[in-house]
């Protein structure tokens, strides 16, 4: 079974992209779809109705959606394999932009929209730098020059990334992407691992304290003027 | 470098197959795309820009030099032989004019020490409001954005195929633009509502309901009409500039420009 993880900020066009992939590969692959979101999501029902494929969703609630993905993905892979799926598509909620949900196998796609601002790719950190593929959507709203400037900015963050630019509502110019998916290697569920290192969650904010200011907290905390670049960096 | 582009039929808005013989454009040729709003003019040049392979809204296929384009040709701007100036008069990119041009030059692998200065200098030919390198792209007016995009397409894009979507809009000096890009060995395709541009191009493609309806070659008769219209257009342009400067258009000014007030006097109009 092949695996595709789609990440990206809200409303960037992740579901529109998933629809195009299902529409164009559904004839030769049996596809299952998992949506991970925080509070509400309708994508699974939409896709089930439109393409008659198996779908599932999970709400992470007060847990970080990417942490939630790590917890449930093993089960999701078994679920899709039991259905004899050829391709499992996982659409993440992609919120805090500190984690990246991509795995050491399958393909990781980041969806960015062309009008989200030139610094958006840099601000999105590992969601861009660890992705295999970037799909830039809403290109019909910007000029060719601006599109190419945006593209260049993404390359400067991740020179290895494969980039596709599309109007995801119509799925323009995505043939090469479909071929990439078809040619991608099947996964081995026993050796699936996160590509990136997620931020740790061991401070008092994590356990529920809402007070503002360092004096209310202990664990990994620093005063504002002690913060160099990051409050905390792991490995 | 001589180049050809061939467009093969797709489907119209009613999903019916288009009925035209494949159209080939050759280096040095100018083309206009005409038709009512919503007739598919922009979609036609979008197909060329994306080197469509049946994977756009229209289902058309585009060949380059008689061959299907490689994925590299389709997706890498550094080798893409096409520049397109869209109707966008807004930029979302929060960079200075200089940074914008330099970043685009990196994407197109056209870096050079003077590229930003050259581009800005050319853009200032096209617009009455001066652009400088430290301005932010997001704060440019519609006309400035348009002028910058056109200059950028010519200097940074520097491609053998230029697509222009309604260049006459946004109050830039369209004659200057046409002057700069005509008489080159490029393929130039205009989407236009402007009769002068439509008459001056070698080929005219007429669109209706998403489909190519007619391909008309330029005739001598029409060239004559174009001459008359260019004259009229220049006079209109002068009046436009007077109005923009806040001047009052008097019969004298009309007389100087060479426009007859005719039998109607200003008193009668009032």
Long-range CB contact pairs, B106-114, < 8 A, 24+: B106/A152, B107/A148, B107/A149, B107/A151, B107/A152, B107/A155, B107/B77, B107/B78, B108/A148, B108/B77, B108/B78, B108/B156, B108/B157, B108/B158, B109/B78, B110/B155, B110/B156, B110/B158
Extended beta strands in A68-155, E state? 87-91, 107-113, 133-137
pLDDT at A196: 79
Provide the residue range defining the domain that includes A138.
Answer: 2-191
B71 contacts in A (CB within 8 Å)? 176
pLDDT at A61: 73
A142 contacts in B (CB within 8 Å)? 86, 88, 91-92
CB count in 10 Å sphere of residue B106: 18
Domain boundaries, chain B: 4-219, 220-270
CB count in 10 Å sphere of residue A204: 15
The torsion angle over the Cα atoms of residues B48, B52, B56 and B58, rounded to 10 degrees, is 70
Claim to verify: residue A32 and residue A137 sit in the same structural domain: yes
From A143, A149, A175, residue closest to B107, measured CB to CB: A149
pLDDT at B263: 58
Q: Which residues of A touch B (CB under 8 A)?
A: 114-119, 140-146, 148-153, 155, 163-165, 170-176
- A6 phi/psi in degrees, rounded to 5: -105, 125
From B49, B74, B100, residue closest to A149, measured CB to CB: B100
C-beta atoms of B49 and A143 within 8 A: no
Claim to verify: residue A216 and residue A114 sit in the same structural domain: no
pLDDT at A164: 92
C-beta atoms of B74 and A172 within 8 A: no
pLDDT at B119: 93
pLDDT at A215: 66
The answer to whether the Cα torsion of A63, A65, A71, A72 is positive or negative is positive
Nearest CA in chain A to B59: A172
CATH number of the domain where residue A36 is located: 3.40.50.300
User: Any CB–CB contact under 8 A between B50 and chain A?
Assistant: yes
Residue A206 Cα, gap to closest chain B Cα (Å): 34
C-beta atoms of A144 and B49 within 8 A: yes
C-beta atoms of B91 and A146 within 8 A: yes
- pLDDT grade for B195, boundaries at 50, 70 and 90: confident
A151 contacts in B (CB within 8 Å)? 77, 107
Nearest CA in chain B to A144: B84
Nearest CA in chain A to B137: A146
C-beta atoms of A152 and B104 within 8 A: yes
| Interval A190-208: pLDDT, tens | 888 888 776 666 666 666 6
C-beta atoms of A143 and B100 within 8 A: no
C-beta atoms of A176 and B103 within 8 A: no
Average of pLDDT values for B222-250?
84
Extended beta strands in chain B, E state? 4-8, 23-26, 30-34, 61-64, 82-85, 161-165, 187-191, 203-208, 211-217
Please report, for chain B, how many H helices and E strands are present, in that order: 10, 9
The sheet with strand B61-64 has its strands ordered as: B23-26, B4-8, B61-64
Q: What ipTM is given for this predicted complex? A: 0.79
Q: What is the DSSP code (8-state) at residue B85?
A: E
Task: Give me the average pLDDT of each 10-residue run along chain A (235 residues).
Answer: 93 92 94 87 88 88 73 86 95 74 92 89 88 93 89 92 91 90 93 78 65 65 57 54
- The residue written with tokens 């529920």 in the block is A208
Of A60-69, B44-53, B83-92, give the range with the top mean pLDDT. Answer: B44-53
User: Any CB–CB contact under 8 A between B120 and chain A?
Assistant: no
Interface test with chain B among A133, A145, A168, by most B beta carbons within 10 Å? A145
User: Any CB–CB contact under 8 A between B153 and chain A?
Assistant: yes
B156 contacts in A (CB within 8 Å)? 145
From B55, B83, B107, residue closest to A152, measured CB to CB: B107
Claim to verify: residue A170 and residue A205 sit in the same structural domain: no
Claim to verify: residue A228 and residue A131 sit in the same structural domain: no
Q: Are A60 and A31 in contact (CB under 8 A)?
A: no
B149 contacts in A (CB within 8 Å)? 143, 145
Number of structural domains found in chain A: 2
User: Any CB–CB contact under 8 A between B78 and chain A?
Assistant: no
> Which CATH superfamily hosts domain B4-219?
P-loop containing nucleotide triphosphate hydrolases (3.40.50.300)
| Interval A97-115: pLDDT, tens | 667 788 899 999 999 999 8
Nearest to A54 by CA among A64, A44, A43, A69: A44
Residue A136 Cα, gap to closest chain B Cα (Å): 12
Structure tokens at A57: 């969703």
Compute the distance between CA of residue B168 and CA of residue B194 in angstroms, rounded to an integer. 7
User: Any CB–CB contact under 8 A between B35 and chain A?
Assistant: no
Claim to verify: residue A49 and residue A90 sit in the same structural domain: yes
Claim to verify: residue A212 and residue A187 sit in the same structural domain: no
Residue B267, CB-side half-sphere exposure with 13 Å CA sphere: 1
Claim to verify: residue A130 and residue A212 sit in the same structural domain: no
Q: What is the DSSP code (8-state) at residue A79?
A: H
Q: Are B48 and B39 in contact (CB under 8 A)?
A: no
Claim to verify: residue A205 and residue A186 sit in the same structural domain: no
SS3 of A113, please? Answer: strand
B55 contacts in A (CB within 8 Å)? 171-175
A174 contacts in B (CB within 8 Å)? 55
User: Any CB–CB contact under 8 A between B149 and chain A?
Assistant: yes
pLDDT at A235: 47
Residues facing A54 on adjacent strands = A32
User: Any CB–CB contact under 8 A between B103 and chain A?
Assistant: yes
A-B contacts at Cβ under 8 angstroms: 86
Claim to verify: residue A99 and residue A158 sit in the same structural domain: yes
User: Any CB–CB contact under 8 A between B104 and chain A?
Assistant: yes
pLDDT reading at B32 higher than 50? yes
pLDDT at B222: 84
């Amino acid at each position: 079974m092949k695996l595709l993880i789609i990440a990206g900020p809200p409303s960037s066009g992740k579901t529109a992209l998933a629809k195009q992939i299902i529409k164009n590969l559904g004839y030769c692959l049996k596809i299952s779809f998992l949506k991970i979101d925080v509070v509400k999501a309708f994508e699974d029902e939409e896709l089930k109705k439109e393409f008659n494929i198996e779908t599932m969703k999970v709400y992470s609630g007060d847990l970080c959606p990417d942490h939630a993905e790590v917890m449930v993905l093993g089960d999701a892979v078994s679920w899709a394999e039991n259905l004899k799926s050829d391709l499992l598509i996982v659409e993440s909620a992609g919120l805090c932009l500190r984690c990246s949900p991509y795995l050491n196998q399958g393909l990781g796609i980041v969806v960015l929209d062309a009008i989200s601002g030139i610094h958006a790719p840099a601000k999105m950190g590992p969601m861009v730098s660890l992705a295999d593929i970037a799909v830039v959507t809403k290109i019909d709203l910007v000029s060719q020059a601006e599109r190419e400037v945006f593209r260049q900015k993404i390359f400067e963050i991740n020179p290895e990334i494969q980039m596709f630019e599309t109007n995801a509502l119509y799925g323009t110019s995505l043939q090469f992407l479909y071929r990439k998916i078809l040619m991608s290697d099947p996964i081995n569920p026993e050796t699936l691992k996160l590509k990136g290192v997620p931020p740790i969650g061991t401070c008092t904010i994590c356990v529920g304290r809402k007070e503002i200011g360092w004096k209310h907290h202990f664990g990994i905390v620093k005063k504002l003027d002690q913060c160099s670049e990051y409050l905390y960096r792991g490995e | 470098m001589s180049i050809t582009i061939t467009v093969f039929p797709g489907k119209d808005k009613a999903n019916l197959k288009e009925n035209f013989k494949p159209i080939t454009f050759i280096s040095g040729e100018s083309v206009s795309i005409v038709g009512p709003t919503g007739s598919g003019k922009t979609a036609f040049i979008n197909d060329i820009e994306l080197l469509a392979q049946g994977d756009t809204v229209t289902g058309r296929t585009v060949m380059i030099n008689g061959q299907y384009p490689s994925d590299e040709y389709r997706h890498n701007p550094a080798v893409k032989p096409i520049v397109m100036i869209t109707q966008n008069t807004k930029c979302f990119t929060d960079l200075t004019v200089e940074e914008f041009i330099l970043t685009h030059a990196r994407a197109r692998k056209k870096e050079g020490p003077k590229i930003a200065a050259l581009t800005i200098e050319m853009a200032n030919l096209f617009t009455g409001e001066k652009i400088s390198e430290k301005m932010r792209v997001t704060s440019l007016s519609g006309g400035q954005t348009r002028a910058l995009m056109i200059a950028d397409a010519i200097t940074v894009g520097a491609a053998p195929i230029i697509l222009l979507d309604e260049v006459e809009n946004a109050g830039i000096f369209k004659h200057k633009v046409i002057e700069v890009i005509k008489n080159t060995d490029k393929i130039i395709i205009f989407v236009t509502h402007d009769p002068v541009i439509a008459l001056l191009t070698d080929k005219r493609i007429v669109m209706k309901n998403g489909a190519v309806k007619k391909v008309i070659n330029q005739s001598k008769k029409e060239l004559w009409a174009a001459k008359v219209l260019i004259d009229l257009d220049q006079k209109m342009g002068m009046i436009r500039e007077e109005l923009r400067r806040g001047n009052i258009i008097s019969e004298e000014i009309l007389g100087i420009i060479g426009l007859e007030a005719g039998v109607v006097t200003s008193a009668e109009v009032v």
